[in-house]
Structure 1
Amino acid sequence: MTFVAAARSSPLLAERFEDDRPLDQAGWDEVQRAAGDLLPLAASELRYCSPTPRSRATGDALGYAPLVQLALRDCDMGRWRGLTLGEAMAREPDAVDTWLADPRSVPHGGESLLGFISRVGGWLDTRPVEEGGRIVAVAEPSVIRAALVYALKAPPSTYWNIDVRPLSSTAVTGRAGRWNLRLDRPSGQPSRT
């Protein structure tokens, strides 16, 4: 299973909770630059995407023709939907502190971080596994972070320490309950830090 992070729809500092905006011009330009590395994933037997406009557009632009998966939607942020973290902090600083510290909390009235990780992990565990079969899913960076925390059986607080960049790819191998993170780079590719 290879996850591809959707191209951006806004400057990174203006990322909003449950951002439903389409790709901006910078996002389209990024897709064009990354296409050479990501196009081979179009040969995957199963191709999925989260329901956001930027995930669908990224998958379509890369030739994946992905099937939308509601389980790959972003975390339900309740009344914080559409806000940046800074805006939520300015309105409800104590609630944001609670949310960041307790993965079971839902001060925004939406979904807990633990519930989000479990939902994405449940989807991951239900993917058909065939020897040598390939699956690709284009999703929001937050969804990929949740999938990695689940796959690695890491504490939920690990979610905050995973950086998923737009149009990066991350692979997990294995099957339900036995996932492994695979880190590799195609030969001849320079490392990016």
Structure 2
Amino acid sequence: MSLRVTFVASARSYPLLAERFGDDRPLDQAGWEQVLSVAHALLPLAAAELRYCSPTPRSRATGDGLGYAPLVQPALRECDMGRWRGLTLGEAMAREPEAVDAWLAEPRCAPHGGEPLPVFIRRVGGWLDTRPMEDEGTIVAVAEPSVIRAALVYALQAPPGTYWNLDVRPLSTTTLTGRAGRWNLRFDGGPDQPSRV
């Protein structure tokens, strides 16, 4: 038996440098325009047997805007950033430069008082491994790019530090196939269809 899980990265609400840890802001006008511009290409994913999203307002709005009517999954929430929640990376760096340096250098530490990166990765991986399995079952999940990066590290059984080397763009798709404990990254795409990374 094999399951196909396609992650869709939520649209971005604000410029990258304005992104905040644990950002609860809804999609802005530019984000809605992004969703509408790709909706025709991503609409076929609405045929998935199960449709989920992370709890953030922008993931829910992205899923609804794409016609998925997704079910919120608490396990797909972003990493708990403790006292850095609501701060940009620059603001956290200005307040606690040594702590930010330690966090970026050592995945197992959580100087912010929240979730260490390996715990976050295992949480997202645990969600992935407990999805209902049917022959050739399909799932679509709209989530924050950070959640998708965690799923990829888990699926590929890569070291936690690999998380920092993955770039997941807004409204990109990432497909994993397999079953609990055995996942493969699938590259679709070709000359006539967008690449899924």
Q: Same fold judged by TM-score > 0.5?
A: yes
Q: How many Å separate the matches in 2 of 1:49 and 1:170?
A: 14
2:111 pairs with 1:107: yes
Aligned residue identity for 1:171: T
Which of 163, 166, 169 matches 2:170? 166
Q: How many Å separate the matches in 2 of 1:127 and 1:86?
A: 37
Aligned residue identity for 2:52: Y
The 3 A distance-change label for structure 1 pair 191 and 14 is same
Q: How many Å separate the matches in 1 of 2:60 and 2:100?
A: 30
Structure 1's consecutive aligned runs of 4 or more residues displaced over 4 angstroms after TM superposition are none
Q: How many Å separate the matches in 2 of 1:41 and 1:187?
A: 19
* Equivalent in the alignment of 1:138: 142
Which of 129, 133, 138 matches 2:133? 129
Provide the aligned C-alpha RMSD in A. Answer: 1.3
Q: What is the aligned-residue identity percentage? A: 80
**How many Å apart are 1:128 and its aligned residue?**
1.2
* Equivalent in the alignment of 1:39: 43
**How many Å apart are 1:186 and its aligned residue?**
5.5
Size of the aligned set, in residue pairs, is 192
* Equivalent in the alignment of 1:2: 6
Which of 43, 59, 62 matches 2:63? 59
SS in 2 for 1:134: strand
The 3 A distance-change label for structure 1 pair 22 and 186 is farther
* Equivalent in the alignment of 1:179: 183
* Structure 2 contact 188–195 (Cα < 8 Å) conserved: no
1:64-79 mapped onto 2 (5 Å cutoff): 64-79=68-83
Aligned residue identity for 1:179: W
The farther-off stretch of 166-175 and 102-111 is 102-111
Aligned residue identity for 2:185: L
**How many Å apart are 1:15 and its aligned residue?**
1.1
Q: Deviations over 1:60-119 (max 9, x none)?
A: 111111000000000000010011111111110110111111111110011111110010
Q: How many Å separate the matches in 2 of 1:4 and 1:134?
A: 13
Consecutive unaligned residues of structure 2, counting only runs of 5 or more, are none
2:156 pairs with 1:152: yes
* Structure 2 contact 187–195 (Cα < 8 Å) conserved: no
The 3 A distance-change label for structure 1 pair 37 and 186 is farther
Q: How many Å separate the matches in 1 of 2:105 and 2:19?
A: 21
Consecutive unaligned residues of structure 1, counting only runs of 5 or more, are none
